[in-house]
Structure 1
Amino acid sequence: MKLDKDLVREILLAVEASNEDPLGWTVLNLEGRDAKEVSYHVMLLHEAGLIVGQDLSTCDGLEWLPKRLTYKGHEFLDTVRDGEVWRRTKAGAEKAGVAGLGVLLELGKAYGKEVLKEKLGIELP
């Protein structure tokens, strides 16, 4: 299964918006998304340290549910929350031929600084 960058962002936004107890699970109902694909991406986000997830898989199949965002997850989401920054981040990753979450975070930071400079005239280090 391939890493779906848009699904990564959707999951992070959904977990952040959830009012569930962060010690429990957040059930994700993402329109048009396959449950197995969502579970796979929750597992990847957990492995990357962006969320705390839990493996509830059985012999019936893969099932991962998110509990909460980690600090690193909040940082990543804050970096790519802006639609323009996200568009540039994805385009940059595709142009470079990379898709790793770590690279997306670094690209998001770089494009975020670029957008801030364009909008506010401020250059960040």
Structure 2
Amino acid sequence: MKLNPDCIRDILLYVELNSDLRHFISISPSNLPTELEKYSSDEVMYHIKQAELSSLIETPSWYLDGGCLIKYLLPEGHKFLADIREDTNWNKTKEIAKSAGSNSLDALKQIATGVVSAIIKSQLGL
């Protein structure tokens, strides 16, 4: 399956909004959250796995039906989400990734960091 950066972002936003140390998220292919319904169930579950493998989320349990329990964002997930939360930063990140010809999560994370760094330097007049 091709990586869909928008799906990853929407998953991270959903996890951040709906989880904490006492409240975990259970997502099943047959019962997707409304915020993720614009994607197919296979796409959502695949991207959750990619987020887990990339150390963006803590997913301790996978169910037999293909669903999972997500505990929370990991520090790398918080950092990446902080860099791409604003639509302007996210759109610029995707634009640069497209022109660079790379949509990997590692590339997106590096580009997002660069976009935010450039904004900070501009604000500081550097």
Question: TM-score, length-normalised on structure 2?
Answer: 0.82
Q: Name 2:54's counterpart in structure 1.
A: 48
Report if the CA contact (8 A) 1:18-1:26 is conserved: no
Report if the CA contact (8 A) 1:53-1:66 is conserved: yes
Q: Name 2:115's counterpart in structure 1.
A: 111
Using the alignment, how far apart are the partners of 1:55 and 1:43 within structure 2? 11
User: Shift of residue 33 of structure 1?
Assistant: 1.7
Using the alignment, how far apart are the partners of 2:52 and 2:19 within structure 1? 19
Inter-CA distance 49–122: structure 2 relative to 1 (3 Å threshold): farther
Q: Name 1:68's counterpart in structure 2.
A: 72
Percent of residue pairs identical: 31
Aligned residue pairs total 120
Deviations 1:24-67 (A, max 9, x none): 33435113221221111000000000001245243x5x334422
Using the alignment, how far apart are the partners of 2:104 and 2:77 within structure 1? 14
Question: TM-score, length-normalised on structure 1?
Answer: 0.83
Using the alignment, how far apart are the partners of 1:76 and 1:121 within structure 2? 22
Q: Name 2:124's counterpart in structure 1.
A: 121
Using the alignment, how far apart are the partners of 1:105 and 1:20 within structure 2? 23
Using the alignment, how far apart are the partners of 1:103 and 1:22 within structure 2? 33
Using the alignment, how far apart are the partners of 2:59 and 2:98 within structure 1? 27
Moved runs in structure 1, 4+ residues, more than 6 A?
none
Using the alignment, how far apart are the partners of 1:31 and 1:82 within structure 2? 21
Inter-CA distance 34–21: structure 2 relative to 1 (3 Å threshold): farther
Q: Which has the higher contact order (CA 8 A, sep 6+)?
A: 2
Inter-CA distance 3–65: structure 2 relative to 1 (3 Å threshold): farther
Cα RMSD, aligned residues only: 2.0
